[in-house]
Chain A
């Protein structure tokens, strides 16, 4: 087993594409727009008391929402990973629904359900969006963790709780760390929910960057806040990376070996999972109910362009646009995310200094934590230097979506790939397998399910993506979330009905996408 330099050429080549993408479509634009604002105004903004209130509120509400999403998501992860209960396919699809719903609609639903709840409503709404991240990321790893260690602990007399704390939880730590980091970043940068449920009284770094950039054109102020945002995000990511650091590999198993019928106390956890799913369905159900308020009028209206033609496209055209844009974004993100994972895992195995691997890992996550406005305005002052002026090109929409989806793909795949016992690979290599064959025979089968999960997840995130799409989309390529946002922003009963029917349709598309991807059988592996 040679561990010399030649083995690094492959991983480094694999890392080049995702890192290049990150540099061109993220680091360069963000650095350029921050540089435009650098001046005395930055110091003034950094020493203002209000700025530090914003930092505190941003981090505080994100931490609270992350904690709730973790507590709510873990039972669901257990249900999906460890049990073979009828209806798991439905649960797997339904937890994804919140992710795709436009924030404006969810904001209105939470205002109706929790009037005058203020900060609590903000925290709950952010958690609502993100339970799926925890459930799916953790379940991805959990379903492959060998059950025999837990069984042994139980046989030796440990209680279920002790077994969970001493055996299961440490095994899941990388996935929980991954999920927590992603959820935290999503919550720290959530925009519409904070404005709407805070009634304008509460602000975060994200909302203030928007106001400084878009309303007041105070680039120095925005630059100061963007710098703070980057620093905070890096700090969180580094903390997350330390949590994820694992010294020992796990004995990963195929899913069929690990799912059972729940027994005894496990039913309590299953009940908790169903309670979480029911809670998630409350806002969802109010939206569906609203879509039927005047019968099927809203659904019929989807064939048209809104009340007296408020839209540039019909509802159905918007559905097609959404599916196409999400397909493009998911494909780009899968290629970039998989390459990045292969590179990170190979570098890790080659015993490169862990600091380097973790820095690359952290850098790839950054786009989740930096304001879409900063990135969007950054594009304006940089991308014209590239051939073909991408700034107003339709191609920028899937590229910008891929920027958000790629880190999610990485976070779902990497914990599984990293947890694969290297001895399996060494055994395969000893038996004469080429490095490529080792990947095919060992890593791909064990990670295939997570890859599918990441595909479904990425697709749903891209479907629901609103920020970049509304900023960049041309009228004839408006996606369903953009159309819904526009309809809600217009007077007229029919427009409202159509918006809610559009939401119901978006939910259906989401559930269908998740169910189809989940049902794919990876035939040659024979594991599922």
Chain B
């Protein structure tokens, strides 16, 4: 058994990830979702400037994050939270998860996306869900790309669109909400019935839709239209420097991601400084590359390829957070009946 013992001992010495917490005197725990990204250099810079260590803890997707914050409001798992979006926000706002705080940076753009009158949440970034098009197969058939919701239901574009199931996918939910905002409570179910007869394909997640069914991604699938993000074309730039795909800017729904100081934060003053930092120019400048979203702050230049391939939609659809919260389950049921039934 000696060699086995030696192996186990080596394992013990070589690799223990247990322990090693970083609870220094000025540590702020930032709770966020698993799509969060930050340039490590930006984190280091913030630490050098303020002496505050930001300890990032990811906890599932935006929905999981919101529910965790609600469940742990009496014993919070951090000091500041980022990533609650407008489709989940009212759940957290109703439950007293956040402390009121108006950041001095909030007037520089984030106020445009304000969601509550008490300054509980501050917008950090904006991500628009839009239909993306791969124009090449359409050009081969001498067709122009569609532009509007109506076009998507037009028989000229039969069997071309792939969407995500709103019950399992965040862009899928956003696109369903876009159709509700556009067609209203009365008309949206009928629109989906028309999409269904026009051969819309439903898959459960973005990965299958975009990287497998969509013809414009590396998966080179069969369908030239897909529900994705306004930012996605910036990642599909060919060797000639031109974008191979584009977003249909009249089919978008605005997802806004918010940050807030948690009530019960151990270190609320430093937590506020971290929130200010999330709104500051250095952080805002890197959100396109690390998280594929648009900065909430005004006057922050987008990366060059974004300016060319991924302009921000001028007037995307949106719905009040309260309505989304109140109707989410019913709308998904209605959608299921219309599309699956």
Chain A residue at minimum C-beta to C-beta distance from B2: A523
Contact (A312, B219) CB under 8 Å given A214-B67, A521-B3, A524-B2: no
A393 in the interface (beta carbon within 8 A):
yes
Task: Give CA–CA (A324, B340) in the complex, Å.
Answer: 45
User: Does B212 contact A111, Cβ atoms closer than 8 Å?
Assistant: yes
**Residues of chain A with a CB closer than 8 A to B143's CB:** none
User: Does B18 contact A328, Cβ atoms closer than 8 Å?
Assistant: yes
User: Does A377 contact B77, Cβ atoms closer than 8 Å?
Assistant: no
User: Does B58 contact A321, Cβ atoms closer than 8 Å?
Assistant: no
User: Does B67 contact A213, Cβ atoms closer than 8 Å?
Assistant: yes
User: Does A477 contact B17, Cβ atoms closer than 8 Å?
Assistant: yes
User: Does A324 contact B17, Cβ atoms closer than 8 Å?
Assistant: yes
Report which of B56, B204, B303 forms a contact with A195, defined as CB distance below 8 A: B204
B179 in the interface (beta carbon within 8 A):
no
The residues in B between 101 and 139 inclusive whose CB is less than 8 angstroms from any CB of A are none
B284 in the interface (beta carbon within 8 A):
no
**Distance between B60 CB and nearest chain A CB, rounded to angstroms:** 5
The residues in A between 390 and 418 inclusive whose CB is less than 8 angstroms from any CB of B are 391-395, 397-398
User: Does A473 contact B329, Cβ atoms closer than 8 Å?
Assistant: no
User: Does A217 contact B67, Cβ atoms closer than 8 Å?
Assistant: yes
Task: Give CA–CA (A392, B20) in the complex, Å.
Answer: 13
The residues in B between 6 and 62 inclusive whose CB is less than 8 angstroms from any CB of A are 7-8, 11-12, 14-21, 29, 31, 34-40, 55-61
Task: Give CA–CA (A283, B38) in the complex, Å.
Answer: 34
User: Does A328 contact B16, Cβ atoms closer than 8 Å?
Assistant: yes
Query: Which of B34, B202, B303, B328 has the most chain A CB atoms inside 10 A of its CB?
Result: B34
Task: Give CA–CA (A331, B328) in the complex, Å.
Answer: 45
Query: Which of A107, A327, A392 has the most chain B CB atoms inside 10 A of its CB?
Result: A392
User: Does A377 contact B67, Cβ atoms closer than 8 Å?
Assistant: yes
Report which of B15, B37, B63 forms a contact with A311, defined as CB distance below 8 A: B37
A325 in the interface (beta carbon within 8 A):
yes
**Distance between B57 CB and nearest chain A CB, rounded to angstroms:** 5
User: Does B17 contact A398, Cβ atoms closer than 8 Å?
Assistant: yes
Task: Give CA–CA (A200, B212) in the complex, Å.
Answer: 16
Task: Give CA–CA (A392, B266) in the complex, Å.
Answer: 15
Task: Give CA–CA (A395, B18) in the complex, Å.
Answer: 5
**Residues of chain B with a CB closer than 8 A to A523's CB:** 2-3
Task: Give CA–CA (A112, B212) in the complex, Å.
Answer: 8
**Distance between B97 CB and nearest chain A CB, rounded to angstroms:** 13
**Distance between B111 CB and nearest chain A CB, rounded to angstroms:** 28
A384 in the interface (beta carbon within 8 A):
yes
**Residues of chain B with a CB closer than 8 A to A495's CB:** 235
User: Does A199 contact B63, Cβ atoms closer than 8 Å?
Assistant: no
**Residues of chain B with a CB closer than 8 A to A324's CB:** 14-17
Chain B residue at minimum C-beta to C-beta distance from A198: B204
User: Does A309 contact B78, Cβ atoms closer than 8 Å?
Assistant: no
A215 in the interface (beta carbon within 8 A):
yes
A308 in the interface (beta carbon within 8 A):
yes
The residues in A between 284 and 319 inclusive whose CB is less than 8 angstroms from any CB of B are 293, 307-312
Report which of A214, A309, A321, A489 forms a contact with B290, defined as CB distance below 8 A: A309
User: Does B11 contact A200, Cβ atoms closer than 8 Å?
Assistant: no
User: Does A214 contact B17, Cβ atoms closer than 8 Å?
Assistant: no
Task: Give CA–CA (A471, B77) in the complex, Å.
Answer: 13
**Distance between B289 CB and nearest chain A CB, rounded to angstroms:** 5
User: Does A496 contact B15, Cβ atoms closer than 8 Å?
Assistant: no
Interface-facing stretch out of B68-76, B150-158, B188-196, B251-259: B68-76
**Residues of chain B with a CB closer than 8 A to A200's CB:** 165, 167-168, 202-204
User: Does B8 contact A331, Cβ atoms closer than 8 Å?
Assistant: yes
User: Does B329 contact A216, Cβ atoms closer than 8 Å?
Assistant: yes
B210 in the interface (beta carbon within 8 A):
yes
A336 in the interface (beta carbon within 8 A):
no
Report which of A211, A311, A327 forms a contact with B168, defined as CB distance below 8 A: A211
Q: Count residues of A near B (Cβ-Cβ below 8 Å).
A: 74
Query: Which of B55, B61, B71 has the most chain A CB atoms inside 10 A of its CB?
Result: B71
User: Does B21 contact A444, Cβ atoms closer than 8 Å?
Assistant: no
User: Does B17 contact A325, Cβ atoms closer than 8 Å?
Assistant: yes
**Residues of chain A with a CB closer than 8 A to B31's CB:** 392
Task: Give CA–CA (A381, B75) in the complex, Å.
Answer: 9
User: Does B328 contact A321, Cβ atoms closer than 8 Å?
Assistant: no
Task: Give CA–CA (A331, B4) in the complex, Å.
Answer: 12
Chain B residue at minimum C-beta to C-beta distance from A320: B15
User: Does A312 contact B167, Cβ atoms closer than 8 Å?
Assistant: no
B321 in the interface (beta carbon within 8 A):
no
Chain B residue at minimum C-beta to C-beta distance from A521: B3
B64 in the interface (beta carbon within 8 A):
yes
The residues in B between 133 and 183 inclusive whose CB is less than 8 angstroms from any CB of A are 165, 167-168
Report which of B3, B64, B67, B212 forms a contact with A522, defined as CB distance below 8 A: B3
A108 in the interface (beta carbon within 8 A):
yes
Task: Give CA–CA (A523, B1) in the complex, Å.
Answer: 7
Query: Which of A104, A108, A199 has the most chain B CB atoms inside 10 A of its CB?
Result: A199
**Residues of chain A with a CB closer than 8 A to B246's CB:** none
Report which of B66, B217, B303 forms a contact with A491, defined as CB distance below 8 A: B217
**Distance between A19 CB and nearest chain B CB, rounded to angstroms:** 21
User: Does A392 contact B77, Cβ atoms closer than 8 Å?
Assistant: yes
B218 in the interface (beta carbon within 8 A):
yes
User: Does B17 contact A492, Cβ atoms closer than 8 Å?
Assistant: no
B86 in the interface (beta carbon within 8 A):
no
**Distance between A376 CB and nearest chain B CB, rounded to angstroms:** 8
**Distance between B153 CB and nearest chain A CB, rounded to angstroms:** 21
**Distance between A250 CB and nearest chain B CB, rounded to angstroms:** 24
B236 in the interface (beta carbon within 8 A):
yes
User: Does A307 contact B91, Cβ atoms closer than 8 Å?
Assistant: no
**Distance between A219 CB and nearest chain B CB, rounded to angstroms:** 9
Task: Give CA–CA (A307, B165) in the complex, Å.
Answer: 27
Report which of B58, B64, B289 forms a contact with A474, defined as CB distance below 8 A: B58
Task: Give CA–CA (A207, B17) in the complex, Å.
Answer: 31
User: Does B17 contact A108, Cβ atoms closer than 8 Å?
Assistant: no
Encoded as 1 (CB less than 8 Å from any A CB) or 0, chain B from 211 to 234 comes to 110000111000000001100100
Task: Give CA–CA (A311, B204) in the complex, Å.
Answer: 24
B208 in the interface (beta carbon within 8 A):
yes
**Distance between B110 CB and nearest chain A CB, rounded to angstroms:** 24
Task: Give CA–CA (A149, B56) in the complex, Å.
Answer: 61
Chain A residue at minimum C-beta to C-beta distance from B12: A331
Task: Give CA–CA (A323, B167) in the complex, Å.
Answer: 35
Contact (A394, B340) CB under 8 Å given A380-B72, A491-B292: no
User: Does B17 contact A312, Cβ atoms closer than 8 Å?
Assistant: no
Encoded as 1 (CB less than 8 Å from any B CB) or 0, chain A from 367 to 381 comes to 000000000110011
**Distance between A226 CB and nearest chain B CB, rounded to angstroms:** 15
B205 in the interface (beta carbon within 8 A):
yes
Report which of A211, A392, A497 forms a contact with B167, defined as CB distance below 8 A: A211
User: Does B236 contact A492, Cβ atoms closer than 8 Å?
Assistant: yes
User: Does A328 contact B15, Cβ atoms closer than 8 Å?
Assistant: yes
Task: Give CA–CA (A36, B12) in the complex, Å.
Answer: 39
**Residues of chain B with a CB closer than 8 A to A9's CB:** none
**Distance between B107 CB and nearest chain A CB, rounded to angstroms:** 30
Could you list some 17 contacts between A and B, CB below 8 A?
A199-B202, A200-B165, A213-B67, A214-B60, A214-B63, A309-B37, A311-B37, A324-B16, A327-B12, A327-B14, A448-B1, A477-B17, A489-B206, A495-B235, A496-B219, A520-B3, A524-B2
- 15 more A-B residue pairs beyond the given contacts A217-B67, A323-B15, with a C-beta to C-beta distance below 8 A: A104-B207, A108-B212, A196-B205, A199-B165, A214-B64, A214-B67, A217-B66, A218-B329, A307-B235, A312-B37, A489-B207, A493-B236, A496-B211, A496-B217, A523-B2
Q: Which 10 A-B pairs have the closest CB atoms?
A: A492-B235, A200-B165, A324-B15, A491-B235, A200-B204, A493-B218, A491-B232, A195-B204, A327-B15, A384-B75
A residues with a Cβ closer than 8 A to B are 36, 104, 107-108, 111-112, 195-196, 198-201, 207, 211, 213-218, 293, 307-312, 321, 323-325, 327-328, 330-331, 334, 376-377, 380-381, 384, 391-395, 397-398, 444, 448, 452, 470-475, 477, 482, 486, 488-493, 495-497, 520-524
